[in-house]
């Protein structure tokens, strides 16, 4: 279905989704539309519903802060340069009051901040239930909200990441069970699906792997000359 901007497309699917009595996923092409739905359209509709609307939004793990990494950064030599230290101070103060832990909330943090990459909640450095902050983890809280929601707003990347995980031999997945999905900005589906159900590699991914290993080795004090030589070769 196509219609011009401002004609009410989002309301046209949100209203029947909310009235259906079932859990519906709304998948968007961009994070901006996610936030418009959650912070603008849903509050508008709430004015016309007597019951509280159970709606949440979910983003990829890299959009959320990891509390444990933030606490570790206060005690371990993780930061480099005055800019990272200044950015970390902004993140650390924000962590004390944020409800969702979503990076988009921090308007004063530079878009390309390297400090954020050291404290985000990426899966590859996550210890899961073994983490001291598991109960307070922003990812844990996000999943709890999703399990209690009638409408879950995601973007296409997260939707197809969920499908890819569920196809994995180990099962898993990100989203709770749902009855139907609405694709908004569906013209972007083909490219995003190809990213998750295709295979690709780049020199950037190797550099990212080398950087992560080097960083963790220094932070956890298990660096060795042999490891440094191996990382140099990888670089």
> Could you give the C-alpha distances from 133 to 107, 109, 130, in angstroms and in order?
25, 24, 9
Whole-number mean pLDDT of the chain? 90
Question: pLDDT of 26-83, one tens digit each?
Answer: 999 988 899 899 999 999 999 999 999 999 999 988 899 999 999 988 777 777 888 8
Ramachandran assignment for 101, one of left (phi > 0), alpha (psi -120 to 50 degrees), beta (any other):
left
Q: Give the pLDDT score at 184.
A: 94
Structure tokens at 191: 């490219």
Q: What does the block give as tokens for 154?
A: 């995601």
Q: Name the nearest CA neighbour of 43 among 79, 7, 9, 10.
A: 10
- Residue 149 φ/ψ, nearest 5 degrees: -100, 150
- pLDDT reported for residue 123: 77
Domain boundaries, the chain: 9-54+149-197, 201-235
At residue 94, the pLDDT reads 95
Please state, in angstroms and as integers, the Cα–Cα distance from residue 18 to each residue in 41, 129, 147, 164, 165, following that order. 12, 33, 16, 27, 27
Closest by Cα among 59, 56, 63, 61 to 145: 56
For residues 16 and 39, give the distance between their C-alpha atoms in angstroms, rounded to a whole number. Answer: 19
Tell if the pTM clears 0.75, that is, is over it. no
The per-residue pLDDT for range 123-162, each reduced to its tens digit, is: 777 888 889 999 999 999 999 999 999 999 999 999 998 9
The pLDDT tens digits for 84-117 are 889 999 999 999 999 999 998 999 998 888 889 8
Beta-bridge mates of residue 154? 27
Q: Can you tell me the distance from the alpha carbon of 149 to that of 43, in angstroms, rounded to the nearest whole number?
A: 15
Residues 6 or more apart whose Cβ sits within 8 Å of residue 173: 162, 165, 166
Residue 186: pLDDT band with limits 50, 70, 90? very high
Interval 205-229 mean pLDDT: 88
């Amino acid at each position: 279905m196509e219609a011009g901007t401002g004609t009410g497309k989002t309301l046209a699917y949100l209203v029947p989704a909310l009235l259906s009595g079932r859990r519906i996923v709304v998948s968007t092409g961009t994070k901006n539309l996610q936030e418009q739905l959650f912070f603008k359209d849903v509050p508008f509709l709430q004015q016309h519903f007597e019951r509280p609307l159970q709606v949440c939004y979910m983003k990829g793990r890299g959009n959320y802060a990891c509390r444990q990494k933030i606490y570790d950064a206060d005690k371990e030599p993780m930061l480099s340069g005055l800019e990272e230290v200044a950015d970390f101070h902004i993140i650390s103060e924000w962590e004390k009051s944020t409800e969702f832990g979503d990076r988009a909330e921090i308007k004063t943090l530079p878009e390309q901040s390297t400090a954020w990459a050291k404290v985000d909640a990426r899966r590859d450095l996550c210890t899961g239930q073994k983490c001291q902050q598991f109960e307070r983890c922003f990812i844990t809280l996000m999943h709890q909200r999703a399990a209690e929601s009638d409408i879950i707003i995601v973007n296409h990347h997260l939707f197809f990441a969920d499908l890819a995980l569920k196809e994995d031999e180990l099962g898993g997945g990100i989203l709770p069970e749902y009855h139907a999905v609405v694709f908004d900005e569906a013209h972007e589906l083909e490219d995003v699906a190809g990213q998750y159900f295709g295979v690709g590699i780049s020199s950037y991914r190797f550099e990212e792997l080398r950087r992560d290993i080097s960083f963790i080795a220094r932070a956890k004090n298990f660096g060795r000359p042999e490891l440094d030589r191996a990382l140099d070769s990888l670089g």
